[in-house]
Structure 1
Amino acid sequence: MSDLLDLGYCYRTTRAGEVHISHHGRPAAILRGEAARRFLERVDEDKANTQLLMARITGNFRRGNESRAARHPRNGG
């Protein structure tokens, strides 16, 4: 993969039109139908952000505020 940011995601397409996304070699998501088509369109448009797109789709996208939230008083911090 030649992305500027490598988060360990890769994808492959099947003859049935599915998109299989994996993270460090482990299955993370399967997109079918309209979702698969939209994903492939977005990848073609913006190859530099493919890793971030796959992270968002699989729900593993960090927003940067996790450590601060852990110290919040309602969380015992």
Structure 2
Amino acid sequence: MENIDKKSRLDEEVFSYRVSKNNTIFIDWYGKQVTILKEKEAQKFLVKMEQARNHKEKQLVMAKVTGNFKRGNEKGASH
């Protein structure tokens, strides 16, 4: 985990998610919707979230699902 989050950005609560009535998952970054998961993707996501041992691992799961956040393109986004 330490090699993945060298700057400890996942210590903050930058990602969050919501589950709708029809089990669609909306993942937000700083309160802004960035990804929508449906059906099998949503189910896999929920399993990974249940298996996560702590808050930081949950943040990592959401970061990986959203994609492109390792490339630095989020720097220009306002939050």
In the superposition, the TM-score normalised over structure 2's length comes to 0.67
Change in Cα spacing, 1:22 to 1:62, as seen in structure 2 (3 Å) is same
Following TM superposition, where does structure 1 have runs of at least 4 consecutive aligned residues deviating by more than 4 angstroms?
none
- Structure 1: gaps spanning 5 or more residues: 67-77
1:56 and 2:69 are equivalent in the alignment:
no
Q: How does 1:1-77 map to 2 (within 5 A)?
A: 5-48=11-54, 49-62=57-70
Aligned partner of 2:75 in structure 1 is none
- 1:52 touches 1:61 (CA, 8 Å); kept in 2? no
1:30 Cα offset (Å):
0.4
1:59 Cα offset (Å):
1.1
Higher CA-based Rg: 1
In the superposition, the TM-score normalised over structure 1's length comes to 0.69
Q: Distance in 1 between matches of 2:40 and 2:47?
A: 11
Aligned residues: 61
Instruction: Give the % identical residues.
Output: 31
1:38 Cα offset (Å):
0.6
